[in-house]
Amino acid sequence: MSTKTPFGPEGWTPARIGDLTGRTFVITGANGGAGFEAARILLSKGARVVMMNRSAERSAAAIDTFKAEFGPDAEVSFVRLDLAVLASVREAAAQLLETETRIDALICNAAIAQVATQQLTVDGFESQLGVNHFGHFLLCALLFERIEASSGRIVVVGSNGYKMGDNRIRFEDLNYDQNYSAWNAYAQSKLAQMIFGYELQRRVQAAGKSVVVHVCHPGASRTGLIRDTAGIATRLLAAMLSPLAQSAERGSWPEVMCATEEGLEPATYYGPTRFEMVGPVGVCPLKEFVLDAQQAKGLWDVSEEKTGVRWPVWTTTWYGSPCAHPEIRSILPRPCNCWPNTWRHRPRPETGPCVPHRQGRSDPGGIDACGVRPELRALPRVPSGVPS
């Protein structure tokens, strides 16, 4: 089963990237796997790459490899970052802001997965939620203004694992103190990252900020992701399935695409399109619960509280109340919150009425990502004065 490849039968490839001289890309977890390969591709196009890694030794080895390949003048450096430690994230962000005057893209690539038994970070978070989500949430907040000043991007690397757990954030038991399972906790952490990515996308759009946010996944790629963390059964399963997976280099393409390609769409999940595991890079299906604005608000609030960071005031958004216009409500499959520039209705406090909004991308004509049925599109604009 294939999904959409807007870049032709081959999908997106790095051949589409132009000269990146003068542009700076920051990648978390770039000393191995997909992050390393993403760094390699960006360096090959002349970019400057800052790796944010937890191991100085592995980072030095990666830099040696890159310099051997691209020459001693290759612009690649390393900032020490341990996403499992909030203090380290703060230190790393401060260091980066001192040295880098621009950030064209921050690629949130680092992760741990399938941690066999429940472990807590020093800040008291379940390890996968702590590293994958809370660490990146804080890092993005601390670097946001520099990325905004650079008209840059934030790329969230998700995983199809997001839909292989509870399909929701367990606000009542974020750490899985009850019934911990490696799968469910990993799934929650990747779901949290993706919910955050799309929520940030909405907030940035609503506030008219220049930062572009995209969410992607590498499919099934041969990397060291579960080597040190998973239980024996998961590792055996992964070894058996390994021949079906793609190379780490191919796995890096979606994140490189999201960091460089123009004209990508919001509310879209990019990755390999063959069974969502391998093959041409394009658009993959996205479960509706990832875009649920209420859950996103809850996650945002709890993430601010746990990390102690406050995003600027513009994150207090004007959406969230379901539309009350009877004609629209009657055809909505569920209460739907706004998303600028899409077909969704959007309650706007400043004007009152809900306005069906045309989205910029081609929509296949079925139910769109928010679940609004095609009839909504045929509705005339709701006259002002209609209560919403």
Ligand X SMILES: NC(=O)c1ccc[n+]([C@@H]2O[C@H](COP(=O)([O-])OP(=O)(O)OC[C@H]3O[C@@H](n4cnc5c(N)ncnc54)[C@H](OP(=O)(O)O)[C@@H]3O)[C@@H](O)[C@H]2O)c1
Binding site for ligand X (CB under 6 A): 28-29, 31-35, 53-55, 58, 81-84, 109-113, 131, 157, 159, 217-218, 220-221, 223-225, 248, 251
Q: Is 62 in contact with 138 (CB distance < 8 Å)?
A: no
- Pull the structure tokens for residue 345: 């209705």
Task: Please give the residue whose beta carbon sits closest to ligand X in the complex.
Answer: 33
Token couple for 190: 């990747």
CB of 290 to ligand X, least distance (A): 15
If the CB atoms of residues 5 and 252 are measured against ligand X, the closer one turns out to be 252
Cβ atoms of residues 207 and 213 within 8 Å: no
The residue written with tokens 């998700």 in the block is: 158
Shortest Å distance, C-beta 70 to ligand X: 19
CA distance 233 to 353: 55
Q: Which is nearer to ligand X, 161 or 347 (CB)?
A: 161
Q: Which of 162, 176, 180, 186 is catalytic?
A: 186
Contacts of 236 (CB under 8 A, 6+ apart): none
Rounded-to-integer distance, Cα 368 and Cα 343, Å: 8
Give the Cα separation of 29 and 23 in Å (integer).
19
Q: What pairing do the DSSP bridges indicate for beta strands 269-274 and 278-284?
A: antiparallel
Judged by CB, which is closer to ligand X: 181, or 341? 181
Q: How far, in Å, CA of 253 to CA of 218, rounded?
A: 7
Considering the complex, state which of residue 99 and residue 242 has its C-beta at the smaller distance from ligand X.
Answer: 242
Report strand pairing: 269-274 vs 105-108: unpaired
User: For the chain, how many helices (H) and strands (E)?
Assistant: 11, 8
Residue 186 among the catalytic residues: yes
* Least spacing, CB of residue 356 vs ligand X, in Å: 35
Closer CB to ligand X, 24 or 221, in the complex: 221
CA distance 197 to 38: 19
- Residue 282 CA to residue 362 CA, distance in Å, equals 14
Shortest distance (Å) from residue 337 CB to ligand X = 27
How far is the C-alpha of 202 from the C-alpha of 223, rounded, in Å? 32
- Residue with Cβ nearer ligand X (113 or 290): 113
- Nearest approach, Cβ of residue 199 and ligand X (Å): 18
Ramachandran angles phi, psi of 75, nearest 5°? -90, 85
* Complete DSSP assignment for 205-273: HHTT---EEEEE---SB-SSTTTTTS-HHHHHHHHHHGGGSBPHHHHHHHHHHHHH-SSPPTT-EEEEE
Closest CB 354 distance from ligand X, rounded Å: 37
Looking at the DSSP bridge assignments, the partners of residue 157 are 216
State which residue, 33 or 347, has the beta carbon closest to ligand X: 33
Active site residues: 186
